[in-house]
């Protein structure tokens, strides 16, 4: 991360994340790597099929944003899965066999068809799109606008 952002800007980013996360109980650490999260996304689909999507997602989020772990590494993803009660060996086989690659490709095409060009993007009722990280108040205002008759 330091190679992508000047030190002062990186410090400001971390301070803003910590400030925003505190009221929500989210602890942000210092992230030192920008992983390719594709492996973690495939593992998330495995977790979904085994009834662990939410807990695996939460564990992966905490591993990356709080603990600074590289969720693009196979060993890290497999350890996170095991910690969440998933079968490490079966997941390793699924990832090596690219069992969920097609599902992710389809989801990507669907998102692109809906106009998704950035992460995060929130799509509400298949017609309202909110792009990017928004302050909590702005998100609330936008949601109220969408749901008002």
What number of residues does the chain have?
A: 149
CATH number at residue 76: 3.40.30.10
- Are residue 107 and residue 35 in the same domain, yes or no? yes
Q: Cα(90)–Cα(113) distance, rounded to whole angstroms?
A: 33
pLDDT recorded at residue 4: 57
Joined together, the tokens standing for residue 116 give: 């998704």
Find, among 74, 75, 65, 70, the residue nearest to 29 by Cα.
65
**pLDDT tens per residue, range 62-92:** 999 889 899 999 999 999 999 999 999 999 9
Q: Which residues pair with 131 in a beta bridge?
A: 121
User: Facing residues of 93 across strands?
Assistant: none
Tell whether 91 is covered by a domain: yes
Digit-coded pLDDT (tens) for 20-37: 778 878 777 777 777 889
pLDDT tens digits, residue range 91-108?
999 999 999 999 999 999
Query: pLDDT band at 5, cuts 50/70/90?
Result: low
Other CB atoms within 10 A of residue 64 CB: 21
Residue 1 lies in a domain: no
Domain count for the chain, please give it: 2
* Domain of residue 126, residue span: 114-149
Mean pLDDT across the chain, nearest whole number?
87
Write out the two tokens for 9. Answer: 């800007």
| pLDDT higher than 70, residue 141 | yes
Question: 51 and 81: one domain?
Answer: yes
Q: Which residue has the higher pLDDT, 16 or 41?
A: 41
Residue 95 near residue 49, CB atoms below 8 Å: no
Q: Are residues 43 and 104 in the same domain?
A: yes
């Amino acid at each position: 991360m330091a190679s992508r952002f000047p030190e002062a800007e990186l410090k400001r980013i971390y301070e803003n994340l910590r400030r925003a996360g505190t009221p929500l109980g989210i602890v942000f650490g210092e992230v030192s790597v920008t992983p390719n999260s594709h492996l973690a996304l495939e593992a998330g689909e495995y977790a979904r099929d085994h009834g662990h999507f939410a807990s695996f997602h939460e564990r992966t989020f905490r591993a990356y944003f709080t603990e600074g772990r590289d969720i693009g590494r196979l060993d890290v993803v497999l350890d996170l899965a095991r910690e969440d009660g998933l079968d490490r060996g079966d997941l390793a086989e699924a990832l090596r066999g690219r069992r969920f690659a097609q599902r992710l490709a389809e989801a990507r095409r669907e998102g692109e068809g809906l106009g998704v060009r950035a992460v995060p993007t929130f799509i509400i009722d298949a017609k309202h799109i909110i792009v990017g990280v928004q302050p909590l108040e702005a998100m609330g205002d936008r949601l109220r606008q969408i749901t008002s008759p």
